[in-house]
């Protein structure tokens, strides 16, 4: 499973990339706004740090505007994946940009039939939002289960399932068990994956025993 981090915080990205954990990055207008910087500058810097796909989202809602913005964004770096919403205009933009060789991430997917449309439009990635479905009393992981199952029936669909709106490590674990291709995690959730109380206790015991010997490795 590929790990993307969902942030526009360059320092966080650099730290996680240094550990060899990142296969890509996802951003959105809210995350870019939080950075307080110009989108083009942030995306260019991230693309220099992470060689994998870096999603940069259009803000236009009409087809012409999406195409104009999408072509500009892909010109920032060769590893930019243009992010478009799962709307009629977004799918039309996806089709056109994909035909031009652009990676496209179709976002804000909340149903399996929407994911079928994204696959038909030639999306590189489709981003189903599990946490937001959980928030309204639906089972977000059922959506991942359905999309993965449907895509497996049709080898001609090359679209990868990019699980988004991950709120906790359980979301990641279940996504991996279902065979989703990618998970994009906020930095805080990604760092939770390191944690286990038995790891901490074991390390404390080893260090305590070593201290009793009075030795030093160096």
Alpha-carbon gap, residue 61 to 33, rounded angstroms: 18
Nearest partner of 130 among 110, 158, 156, judged by Cα: 110
Number of other CB atoms surrounding residue 125 within 10 Å:
27
Specify whether 195 is catalytic: no
Annotated active-site residue in 83, 120, 195, 212:
83
Contact 4, 179 (CB under 8 A): no
Q: Is 70 exposed, middle or buried (0-12, 13-18, 19+ CB in 10 A)?
A: buried
Contact 82, 102 (CB under 8 A): yes
Alpha-carbon gap, residue 208 to 4, rounded angstroms: 37
- The residues that are catalytic are 83
């Amino acid at each position: 499973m590929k790990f993307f981090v969902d942030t526009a915080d360059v320092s966080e990205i650099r730290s996680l990339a240094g550990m060899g954990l990142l296969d890509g990055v996802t951003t959105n207008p809210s995350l870019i706004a939080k950075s307080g910087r110009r989108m083009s500058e942030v995306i260019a810097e991230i693309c220099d740090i992470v060689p994998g796909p870096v999603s940069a989202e259009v803000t236009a809602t009409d087809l012409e505007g999406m195409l104009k913005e999408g072509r500009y964004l892909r010109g920032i770096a060769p590893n930019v994946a243009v992010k478009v919403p799962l709307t009629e205009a977004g799918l039309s933009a996806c089709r056109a940009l994909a035909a031009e060789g652009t990676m496209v991430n179709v976002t804000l997917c909340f149903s399996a039939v929407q994911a079928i449309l994204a696959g038909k439009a030639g999306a590189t990635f489709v981003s189903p939002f599990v946490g937001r479905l959980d928030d309204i009393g639906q089972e977000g992981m059922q959506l991942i289960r359905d999309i993965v199952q449907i895509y497996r029936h049709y080898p001609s669909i090359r679209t990868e399932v990019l699980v988004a709106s991950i709120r906790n490590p359980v979301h990641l674990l279940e996504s991996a068990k279902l065979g989703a291709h990618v998970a994009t995690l906020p930095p805080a959730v990604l760092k939770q994956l390191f944690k286990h109380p038995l790891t901490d206790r074991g390390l404390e015991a080893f260090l305590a025993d070593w201290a009793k010997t009075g030795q030093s490795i160096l």
